[in-house]
Amino acid sequence: MRSMLRMSAGSLSLLVLLSFGCSGGSSPADAGMDATPHDSGLFDAAPDAPFMDAGLDASIDASVDGASDAATDAATDASLDAGALTGFGDITGPCGRVAGELSDPNPVVFQTRLDFMMNAYDDPAERPELTPGGQQILLEGTAGGSSGISEAFAYEVLARCEGASLLKTETRIVYDVMGKITDLSVRIDTQAVGVSVTRAVSFPADAPYTAADAAFIERKLNDILESSANVSAADAWVKQILFVLAYDDAHADVIRTVWEGLPAATRADTILYLLVTDGDDLPIYF
- Domains in the chain: boundaries: 2-285
Phi, psi of 113 (to 5 degrees): -135, 150
Query: pLDDT 10s per residue in the chain (286 long)?
Result: 454 445 444 443 333 333 333 333 333 333 333 433 333 333 333 333 333 344 444 444 444 444 444 444 444 443 444 346 789 999 998 999 999 999 999 999 999 999 999 999 999 999 999 999 999 999 998 665 558 999 999 999 999 999 999 999 999 999 999 999 999 999 999 999 999 999 999 999 989 999 999 999 999 999 999 999 999 999 999 999 999 999 999 999 999 999 999 999 999 999 999 999 999 999 999 9
CA distance 62 to 21: 42
Tell me the whole-structure pTM to 2 decimals: 0.73
In order of 116, 173, 175, the CA distances from 180 in angstroms are 32, 12, 10
Are 265 and 122 in contact by the 8 Å Cβ rule? The answer is: no
